[in-house]
A and B are shown apart, each in its own frame.
Chain A
């Protein structure tokens, strides 16, 4: 089994807010992330897939094809968008780094030919990132 990782970048705005809570509770839990005007990050996405090497091509997956899938399924939807307001999955889930990783997993799962999605890693900043392995 070989693990292959492809990166992609997107820049998005977001804020953290739970409608079930009072403004004071949102402020207490989320701090400056609760600013309703939003703020933004340069996100880095790392997608790791696992598979066997095709003996003819020498590839696990065609990197160009993987790049195109990431562009179509994730980057074109998230890049230069407000995640809370413009991306459907974040109408109901707060766009934390953890939830972004889970949402990207759902967007990519079963869409990559000849390989199994192994890990979605999302960097909000170089010092803060979340991983999702498809675990319940």
Chain B
């Protein structure tokens, strides 16, 4: 039987929304307080959804310890308590949570033991973002 495993991870990081494609005035106009030159930060929550057949031997879609170890190495060790703008991936693209969501989706696609369905990121309790690749989300999957 195909089931879906959801796991949430938390990290804290700073960023600044800014693009060299705009002059200073336009950056301020477009990004508002998010363009503050000294940056600001968030407690991000990353929710990953994996699907797969439940292994009769383990009762699991994938081993949670393996997923947590993957997330430790590939997500938390790279993103927690840093300035996102210092990462190579944001050297030529704005560190919005839209772009962050697509990057984290790309990262978790490499987890070998189950199929990544979706990445959901909460930047604050009022802002959240979802990326599911080219898949149409199942109604009510959230």
Q: Which residues of A contact B (CB under 8 A)?
A: 3, 5, 16, 18, 20-21, 29-31, 48, 50, 93-99, 101-102, 118-119, 126-133, 135-136
Q: Is the interface on chain B under 10, 10 to 19, 20 to 34, or 35 or more residues?
A: 20 to 34
With both beta carbons as reference points, the residue of chain A lying nearest to B45 in the complex is identified as A127
The reply to whether A132 and B7 contact each other, CB–CB distance below 8 Å, is no
Tell me, in angstroms, the Cα distance from A129 to B61 when the chains sit together: 12
The reply to whether A130 and B58 contact each other, CB–CB distance below 8 Å, is no
A98 with B3: in contact, given A3-B139, A31-B65 (CB under 8 Å)?
yes
Q: Which residues of B contact A (CB under 8 A)?
A: 1-9, 49, 54, 56-61, 63-65, 138-141
The reply to whether A98 and B65 contact each other, CB–CB distance below 8 Å, is no
Contact residue among B1, B49, B64 (Cβ-Cβ distance under 8 Å from A132) = B1
The reply to whether B60 and A126 contact each other, CB–CB distance below 8 Å, is no
The reply to whether B5 and A102 contact each other, CB–CB distance below 8 Å, is no
With both beta carbons as reference points, the residue of chain B lying nearest to A96 in the complex is identified as B59
